[in-house]
Structure 1
């Protein structure tokens, strides 16, 4: 449900821009609605940029939260000031105040516009936002969405409104409606790569989380317009991954790394997906893509085993009922001391539990950090509903104690929830 709450201010931005406008009339438009609509648009852009910076790793969580709260505070002050502007008709002013009153309870979610890039990798969608206190009901959000949809019947050429409606329906889980809204926006906007990527994502969700067919064609259309569009690259890689064309998936995702900050969480998530695609390609006997995926000469079996850790992942009986067959399982090894970034990671599905695993340098995330360079490691396993490589609240996890590299028969029990 986190994604649902992230959408709230797209709704409020849309409804304030599209619904307040006809309520405050004549001479008050220039003084109140114009100022309010302008400020909301400005603050929405600021929060979109903030979310991009956070996703890219240039802003940490503390700085992100502090800046977001400050932007929300300024938005609330400006909206309240605008609502207090005199000389407006009583009916128009009162109606505007009623609609504007929704701002305090959903301003926290203004940063929806970009969303979590990690959700675009295999197993998407995920919800990258932190949990928040929810003081507005889903029914109220649905009502606002309905008002926005009704307004667009009167303003069918309002492209921004259709985009907002598409995002709103997507967050509510109504992907058929989201796809139709995005399709309407695409028909009017023409060649907009970002919009096409959003449209493809909604279509994929509407057809059972599959990018095959029309969604993938739309993704390729987006890349023809903007070859560096990150969302389109992520979706294209996911489409290739889903059809087991791992080398092609690696090529798309490596293009993302050309523009992503090297040490950001986002880049780490992309590398994790690349490593998994390379590992699966090697298991299938294919040669991974060039670059970070170049295949190395095979080592003698005895040498390879001495540099690996193998074992089995199990789920504690108390948590078994919370696991679905389609959930994603990440198994990783990290150093006992030092950076917590995984040295090696593999990906599987919960339907395969109890899961036998082998971690070695073939599943390394980077050339600079390898399992074979360690004497001891900690092995962990995590079950993700959304398929995010980055841990999220609500994931299920378990870790071993320190084990010697070369150990076999390691047992990892998933027995805790990520907080």
Structure 2
């Protein structure tokens, strides 16, 4: 479940100035320079995966840029260490600058989930997109003591993939150091939040949930934090959102009824209960808050279609009930016609394949208002649809004025459309039409 956010990022010249050497204003300059670098790293890690579909995302480009960003970060931190060693900065000022950098890192990381918080249904439990930054970036701030000497970033043309990247062992060590630091300073709510997300990236969900619980007890109420916590608790119980995760989602929506991730998860909770009407309603709210061309929006739309299809089979009423100003008298509420098969498809269809003929409203949900079942071997088939073939008492052919009539040959026998099925659709026709012709000629993708 699944994200409205700014999708642009100005490129920052990596040839950043070194920190000022004088005492006056030196700490502020250190903060500004490294803060900009940290912001670049955070935004790069978040926006690149979100803005590119997987097939469009080159494996090498993002890895190289991340390596370059880490190189710049190490260079700036090395300058700070060098200033301390050469006596240009006092120990107290050094510690203060270092602590401020760490705090800024946590502030940036805390913003990351908000920028990535609208996952599609595949995202809904998978919204690990929102927690992928902290381990790589945040752990650096907490653990780098004296960085290895590196060449100035301006001398690096194109670092090879893998250079300057962190090994799994290094990441684990950094996270453990963060945990130890929090034992010494257990009142650091932002630190516990950071640790929770880091554990989540490592797949250590019980520990992540425990850290989230500590963080939420210290930080001001935040809908995004509760939605993230719900996601993690669900991972500890086989990805099920029932129970405690659902309570956390409800709490998130109490704080912010517009929170995208909470709405998306709420839709998944309804879907899992087979309350497809409610699921569709929640996911439509998510769509209203996403850019139309967003890959996440496409995922949400797919989830809505899935719910509509399942609702059609279950005979439930859609979240947006269809009310027609031109209801047709039941006595004339019928549609008749003939269904033919494109000769090019004859070799691909077996006589015992299932044939579904259905009518659905032109303006409204995809749930059929009438449906009949036959065999593909009966083609060409003359058909008649009426109120006796409705899927639900409140959802009949006589309740609408215009319909699209469709015919689908199902290889699986399932009324839900599957890739490899064959179908054909009519143009919109008025209820009462008696000469509708449908040719099955397209393949469901």
Same fold at TM > 0.5? yes
In structure 2, the residue matched to 1:77 is 72
Gap change, CA 1:216 and 1:294, over 3 Å in 2: same
2: CA distance, partners of 1:267 / 1:63: 22
Q: Say whether the 8 Å CA contact 1:240–1:249 is kept in structure 2.
A: yes
In structure 2, the residue matched to 1:298 is 370
Gap change, CA 1:330 and 1:184, over 3 Å in 2: farther
The C-alpha deviation readout for 1:210-264, integer Å capped at 9, x for no partner, is 1111111111111122222111111111111111111111111010110112232
SS in 1 for 2:72: helix
Shift of residue 70, structure 1, vs aligned partner: 5.3
Gap change, CA 1:173 and 1:70, over 3 Å in 2: closer
In structure 1, the residue matched to 2:47 is 50
Shift of residue 164, structure 1, vs aligned partner: 1.8
2: CA distance, partners of 1:228 / 1:199: 17
Which structure 2 residues correspond to residues 13-412 of structure 1 after superposition, within 5 A?
A: 30=27, 34=31, 38-47=35-44, 50=47, 54=51, 61=56, 73-74=68-69, 76-85=71-80, 86-89=82-85, 117-118=118-119, 120-121=121-122, 124-125=125-126, 136-290=166-320, 293=365, 295-299=367-371, 301=373, 302=383, 307-312=407-412, 331-332=418-419, 376-379=441-444
The C-alpha deviation readout for 1:190-224, integer Å capped at 9, x for no partner, is 31011111011011111221111111111111112
Gap change, CA 1:138 and 1:66, over 3 Å in 2: closer
Q: Which has the larger radius of gyration?
A: 2
Q: Say whether the 8 Å CA contact 1:261–1:267 is kept in structure 2.
A: yes
2: CA distance, partners of 1:374 / 1:69: 53
Unaligned runs of 5+ in 2: 1-22, 98-110, 133-159, 322-363, 374-382, 386-404, 426-436
Unaligned runs of 5+ in 1: 1-25, 97-109, 314-328, 334-356, 362-371, 381-419
Shift of residue 53, structure 1, vs aligned partner: 5.8
Shift of residue 294, structure 1, vs aligned partner: 6.3
2: CA distance, partners of 1:303 / 1:164: 62
SS in 2 for 1:220: helix
Q: Say whether the 8 Å CA contact 1:332–1:359 is kept in structure 2.
A: no
1: CA distance, partners of 2:173 / 2:62: 30
The C-alpha deviation readout for 1:41-100, integer Å capped at 9, x for no partner, is 422553366258627x8x99469996896576355324313413433138999xx9xxxx
TM-score where L is the length of structure 1: 0.56
Shift of residue 174, structure 1, vs aligned partner: 1.1
Shift of residue 303, structure 1, vs aligned partner: 7.3
Shift of residue 377, structure 1, vs aligned partner: 3.5
Gap change, CA 1:206 and 1:185, over 3 Å in 2: same
SS in 2 for 1:209: coil
In structure 2, the residue matched to 1:388 is none
Shift of residue 168, structure 1, vs aligned partner: 1.2
**How many pairs does the alignment contain?**
290
In structure 2, the residue matched to 1:3 is none
Q: Say whether the 8 Å CA contact 1:193–1:223 is kept in structure 2.
A: yes
Shift of residue 147, structure 1, vs aligned partner: 0.7
1: CA distance, partners of 2:439 / 2:406: 11
1: CA distance, partners of 2:32 / 2:123: 42
RMSD (Å), alpha carbons = 4.7
In structure 2, the residue matched to 1:21 is none
